[in-house]
Structure 1
């Protein structure tokens, strides 16, 4: 470590050593459950951190300082996110994204997540999530120099760039895998390899299948390896062995390198699968949180402006662990996807009922106040119906039947459905089915339903008003429908998730062409309204109230400046909020204002009256 710091000015050396003193205990605590000699691994990691710190650009050191002085920067209500595929959003490479950054800035976006841009293996490559090289950019998108230029342009506009870091697996073509196939025993030990079916069969006894129709089983025979290699997701994605400290150190170098190119958020893809334990489903193991804590601590030492975001699409009860619970409280990821909120939004709209959602959201533990949820209506992936059987039973319904209903509804096969989604990942053995589709298609715009736009705006009002960082999925802010030509692109024909990844069309003025002007205007207004509500700071926990009207979700945001009450009518007809609900949360019905309109709500019959699919933020 000393050698790496020796050329730095004294104040920089002092700063680095102060960070090590502050964070070394957390680093060792994270490594201790993973490796027999945590101090030896820590020494390797501190050397890597010192090397990255010494190479870090002055502008990024300044960013580290600003972030350290304002550690809640990502929790503030003026933070709005956007997620997209670079080429589908901008119609070109990373330089084209930079040219479109003005649109994002005007929309109020300060966090941009670009889908996989690192070099993947050849098709099929799971949409880029089979990474062949963590140190280069896809040739069609540019170079690492282009990445640095993009982050600098975005940073100048107040926008932080988020990129994917796939932690669980690499492409079969990755250097580690190629060297393992060539007979290198060191690289072979980076993977889970078995000479016969004895080991795989023992693991398979308790392992679920992630993509049973596309990639059945969890192990693949490889002739070059002369063995069975663990492949949770697809036969071309090889799971790495995090029990090997060499793997940890390799990924630490990747994290530090991306941070030094100006990346400010890393989305930790498939993080729930990283640690394997025989006799379990190999998801959500305790070591996952320990290794994330250790990896995050390395970043805190070298590049504290970097945030970690956990891509943990897991059961509702397991979500909070990725932000930190118990001994890992506040020490794991800074951000995590609130998958449960997204699922409940669509459940409410289909069922026209907020009772199940209220119950499910009430039972989630409160996350650490130093973290934030990522809230969203849609993302690049399909929707899996993470409806907890216990929550369903508590409100008198069957979880299995409700999940089946939701798929039928959003596939458009249930009588009276306005949705036009696509069934994805059907498992004949378990009955599990998931759904693809843009927000507009799922909400009925493709069926010409007159209330479709109102549903889209209501859904976004829920996630914008819940706290955390609301993230728009590219095209949803414009009301775009599913791409009717999704199957025509080579490699996409077997994956209907490409239907809800449409390409944006830009007009001569450099503005994207909306599918629904009403949706585009409404979501832009939501972003503007959110900025001025301190009650939406992510450190303030959302308090979901018991519904008085079963079709109205009630979410209170208590704050020293006064509570804001979000009320969301998920029904196609008028509903109401009794005035005693307002009084209970400290609001004066005679003085209350709807923050979304700036006007007083309509009050009649001792209740706030809500129009079909209306959202109000009462303050």
Structure 2
């Protein structure tokens, strides 16, 4: 598709002062990504020719202003487009103030992160939010400023540079669905600007909101019921999916797209390498639907990604879409948008089924559900995790449950009971979050150590229970590290921190028990972790070993699709990864008893002579033609050298 003359002319005006080779490079990128950009824009804004000129002008300006070191990064990433798919990738997620106090403190922790093997650092929302309650920073009042207590934009740029030079990519949240009521756009709307009022979805009475509400789910039914809020300044009902002070943006307005496109380019030029597109599923509103996962969302993301590829191709997009598998694949690109939307997406289903397997001590539901996941583009990658900053919602599909003889509703209730400690025999210490009596939905908050029973075992002084809980913690991480993609550790889990007992002391957090699993990184626990005989040292050492091992396994490149097998035994999850250099068979015993992997499974995968990459031991079936796995054990089997 030919780049129109007016678009090319706009770019050349911006590029007039750069060297011919740099101008040629920009124009080559423009030609390469023009079809994706124009198709995405044309799908959503069919009469927006002027918008395309403005967007390319903005991309050219960002390109001219981009730091030489970032230009070099762009070239490196263009020559190695699979950089983020490689098995050496390891993520770490934290709040800046709970890791280092501020951005300068985070920089002081770079050595610790490198020692852990981290190559990808996700700092939770740090752009300036509204004062007071702000949904953990997701109510952004200024996209171009940092929270004052953390530092300045100059500090952020310095941190990004230091991370980059240490081989760590900085990941930040970009909240696309909404802004704070105090954001300048919202302030202008409240002061009477008709242009800015159109940035939002405002209705004079309840007629239209009530029609939408018939099919809209509630995100926070406990403390933010409904999806619309009356605002006296607007004299209208404004769309507020999440909280009354988080105003949804109207992405049907091309001005909104142009504004956020410039934010993307601005953050990229500060050195941000991955943008986590928060609440992306909610961008497009359509009457009679849940207003999630609408096709325009994927066209919008494709256009934003194409624009970034033109100006700053070293930047990745990560979709924060916690949706069903059939919907999730579209955030990485399906059909005509195959591989053109986001580069990364959260594998929420894997996280849910890890916890499901550990509670039920049965892999049949997980095997069926994970095997049924549609394939994703080979140029993309999953972000895998045992848990994150958010609560755990039991996204167990009723059809998947029925296929293995379970009731989806009953299994979800069991998981809530188990991880809140209400189920007989459970040693989990999770907290119920957002109980919805109408649906029975009960989400769960808690650190990995508390959910896996380690907190309870340590409090009881039960050495055997501690050993079993440590094994479960490491097993859960082995599953997510052995899946491929980018596994992400949540801060504190690497040293087995329990729930924060003081989570409610801050009045801003008192109504949100998710802060129980966002504890500050405990320096005393880090000190204990230096002793490999302590619980902290065993967990930290085990995670480091997993990271080092996976980095040397080409089978864990994200382009290699995992193939869930069996199960042959209901207690053992089997996952094969077939790489040109051979097959890796991962086996995970999710029970407290010894469980077998049959010899024929190894032979089927060409692993007659196998070695466990995690232990370095040769593995051969015994006289009963079985390989027996210890309780809670993981093995990554590859072909032994002849």
User: Shorter-chain-normalised TM-score: which range?
Assistant: over 0.9
Contact 2:529 2:535 in 1 (8 A): no
Q: Does 1:67 align with 2:77?
A: yes
Give the counterpart of 1:320 among 320, 329, 333.
329
Q: Does 1:601 align with 2:619?
A: yes
Q: Which residue of 2 aligns with 1:383?
A: 392
Contact 1:316 1:388 in 2 (8 A): no
Q: Does 1:498 align with 2:507?
A: no
Deviation at 1:517, TM superposition (A): 2.0
Q: How has the CA–CA distance of structure 1 residues 35 and 507 changed in structure 2, closer, same or farther, with 3 Å as cutoff? A: same
- The two structures have a TM-score, normalised by structure 1, of 0.98
Q: Secondary structure at the match of 2:121?
A: strand
Q: How has the CA–CA distance of structure 1 residues 19 and 512 changed in structure 2, closer, same or farther, with 3 Å as cutoff? A: farther
Q: Which residue of 2 aligns with 1:552?
A: 572
Moved beyond 4 Å, runs of 4+ = 507-515
Q: Secondary structure at the match of 1:563?
A: strand
Contact 1:176 1:190 in 2 (8 A): yes
Deviation at 1:602, TM superposition (A): 6.7
Q: Secondary structure at the match of 1:492?
A: coil
Q: Secondary structure at the match of 1:435?
A: strand
Q: Secondary structure at the match of 1:134?
A: strand
Separation in 2 of the partners of 1:382 and 1:512? 27
What aligned pairs does 1:100-115 form with structure 2 within 5 A after superposition? Answer: 100-115=109-124
Deviation at 1:214, TM superposition (A): 1.1
Contact 2:586 2:637 in 1 (8 A): yes
What aligned pairs does 1:22-37 form with structure 2 within 5 A after superposition? Answer: 22-37=32-47
Q: How has the CA–CA distance of structure 1 residues 82 and 189 changed in structure 2, closer, same or farther, with 3 Å as cutoff? A: same
Q: Does 1:6 align with 2:16?
A: yes
Contact 2:331 2:341 in 1 (8 A): yes
- The two structures have a TM-score, normalised by structure 2, of 0.95
Q: Does 1:17 align with 2:34?
A: no
Give the counterpart of 1:265 among 263, 268, 274.
274
Deviation at 1:446, TM superposition (A): 1.3
Q: Secondary structure at the match of 2:59?
A: helix
Contact 2:492 2:522 in 1 (8 A): no
Give the counterpart of 1:541 among 527, 536, 561.
561
Contact 1:602 1:609 in 2 (8 A): no
- Residues 282-317 of structure 1 show CA distances to partners (whole Å, capped at 9, x for unaligned) of 000011100000000000000000000000001122
Contact 1:372 1:538 in 2 (8 A): yes
Q: Secondary structure at the match of 1:486?
A: coil
Q: Which residue of 2 aligns with 1:236?
A: 245
Q: Secondary structure at the match of 1:488?
A: coil
Deviation at 1:512, TM superposition (A): 7.2
Give the counterpart of 2:545 among 511, 516, 525.
525
Deviation at 1:7, TM superposition (A): 1.1
Count of residue pairs brought into register by the alignment: 616
Separation in 1 of the partners of 2:490 and 2:284? 30
Deviation at 1:511, TM superposition (A): 9.0
- Residues 167-197 of structure 1 show CA distances to partners (whole Å, capped at 9, x for unaligned) of 0000000000000000000000000000100
Q: How has the CA–CA distance of structure 1 residues 341 and 194 changed in structure 2, closer, same or farther, with 3 Å as cutoff? A: same
Q: Which residue of 2 aligns with 1:58?
A: 68
Q: Does 1:353 align with 2:373?
A: no
Per mean C-alpha deviation after superposition, the further-off stretch among 18-27 and 301-310 is: 18-27
Deviation at 1:507, TM superposition (A): 5.7
Q: Which residue of 1 aligns with 2:94?
A: 84
Q: Which residue of 2 aligns with 1:447?
A: 456
Q: Which residue of 2 aligns with 1:302?
A: 311
Separation in 2 of the partners of 1:369 and 1:383? 28
Where do 5+ consecutive residues of structure 1 fail to align? none
Separation in 2 of the partners of 1:507 and 1:437? 20
Q: Which residue of 2 aligns with 1:373?
A: 382
Separation in 1 of the partners of 2:205 and 2:572? 56
- Residues 421-440 of structure 1 show CA distances to partners (whole Å, capped at 9, x for unaligned) of 00001111111110000001
Q: Does 1:575 align with 2:619?
A: no
Separation in 2 of the partners of 1:578 and 1:493? 51
Separation in 1 of the partners of 2:538 and 2:326? 37
Deviation at 1:546, TM superposition (A): 1.3
Separation in 1 of the partners of 2:182 and 2:606? 60
Separation in 1 of the partners of 2:536 and 2:312? 42
Aligned alpha-carbon RMSD (Å)? 1.3
Q: Which residue of 1 aligns with 2:292?
A: 283
